[in-house]
Structure 1
Amino acid sequence: MPLSIFIEMTLSAILTVWSPGPNNILLLSTASKYGFSKNLPFMTGIWTGSLTLMCLSGIFCTALSSIVPGIQPVMKYLGAAYVLYLAWQTFKRQPPAQSSHEKKPTWLMGFFLQLINIKIIIYGLTMFSAYILPYESGVFMLFLFALYLMFLGALGNLIWAFAGNILKQFYSSHYKLMNNIMALLLVWCSLRITGLF
């Protein structure tokens, strides 16, 4: 994989998994409520589930490319369209609402959250189809990329969990500015995926 593509993939991944979503909002909320250390089982469940999904995404995209050889360009444009959809959703997103009925999350909750977290599922499919499979195909390399994508998500999770109330207050006060910046960066990533920019 060329370095320029690796950098674009990393930026796109960071914008996707570090932006507000089910994992990050739950981690922000529960860390501010229960503390960082009591959130560790939930976080490790998220990371384990995320790695599982990244591996499955790599397998699925590789199998689909083998069965339908001409699907790669289609998958690339579908991935770009999804990134544009994420940009739109980010642009119009409102600040997160707090629920007073939360219970302390567990490892199992974190793991199973990934299996129904459409953002992470499509993230894996997009990264593999748009960035990784056009350049890499070996099983070991695909696993390393799955691990790397999970690692980027884990960094974002840690940031949101460490930030706790501070980030929650800042985001609530400046959510529109932050959403607009993230949305514009996602549009840029989408254009780069298609080769239009």
Structure 2
Amino acid sequence: MMPVHELLIFAAACLLMVLTPGPNMIYLISRSICQGRKAGVTSLIGVVGGFFVHMLAAAAGLTAVFLAVPMAYEVLKWAGALYLLWMAWQALKPGARSPFEAQELAPDSSSKLVLMGFMTSVLNPKVAVFYLSVFPQFINPDYGSMFTQSILLGLTQISVSFTVNLLIALFASGIAVWFVRNPLWLMLQRYVMGFVLGALAVKLMLEQRKTV
């Protein structure tokens, strides 16, 4: 059985991931502001479905495959680091927009909202990098079935992400209005997130390959 303290550390890593601006956050905020809370929550259903795809893929052994092949792991690690650096630049570059500045999105049907949320989540490289680089570090053969551990960790990530994203979808309009009225905080939010993303990229590049 996985120790509770390690599960809590993993939950903290999940929280950091979901609070870092990415495709899911930008889409949910924009959808909630442009089409309302109901549309944002409906889109979140699809996003959560995408998380289950990542979780089941990791549980099925894709993580072990990447860790067993040094070159595959290195390619993934550097691709993930470069993606994080790109996200950091998007936050820090002159004229950059905060994820709390919504994009204009045309109204969509409920079925399309779920589908778009699902595709955004499944194709989200930030989630893929998390599952294939951070996720394996918390799996230990001494704790029992690796499949069971993968499911437990995956459900933890989904629970944390769902809770945070639900709050974002419900309060996106209020958050966006507050930032518009306080432009200094909007700028600070971008810079803080940019430096956090850059630090994560450096950490990932310096990380040594681990085995499970």
Q: Normalization by structure 1: what TM-score?
A: 0.73
- Counterpart of 1:24, as a letter, is M
Identity of aligned residues (%): 19
> Aligned residue pairs: how many?
191
SS in 2 for 1:106: helix
Separation of aligned partners in 1, 2:51 and 2:207: 23
Residues 32/130 of structure 1: CA separation in 2 closer, same or farther (3 Å cut)? same
* Structure 1 stretches of at least 4 aligned residues deviating more than 6 Å after TM superposition: 77-80
Q: Normalization by structure 2: what TM-score?
A: 0.69
Separation of aligned partners in 2, 1:12 and 1:189: 13
Q: Give structure 1 stretches of 5+ with no counterpart.
A: none
User: Is 1:115 aligned with 2:119?
Assistant: no
Indicate conservation of the 8 Å contact 1:13/1:152, yes or no.
yes
User: Is 1:16 aligned with 2:24?
Assistant: no
- Counterpart of 1:21, as a letter, is G
Residues 150/189 of structure 1: CA separation in 2 closer, same or farther (3 Å cut)? farther
Residues 4/80 of structure 1: CA separation in 2 closer, same or farther (3 Å cut)? farther
* Partner of residue 137, structure 2: 130
Separation of aligned partners in 2, 1:189 and 1:159: 29
Separation of aligned partners in 2, 1:158 and 1:143: 22
Indicate conservation of the 8 Å contact 1:14/1:153, yes or no.
yes
Query: What value does the CA root-mean-square deviation take over the aligned residues?
Result: 3.6
Structural mapping, 1:86-165, within 5 Å: 87-93=84-90, 94-95=96-97, 96=99, 98-104=102-108, 106-132=113-139, 136=143, 137-165=145-173
- Counterpart of 2:107, as a letter, is K
Indicate conservation of the 8 Å contact 1:86/1:186, yes or no.
no
| Structure (1 or 2) with the larger CA radius of gyration | 2
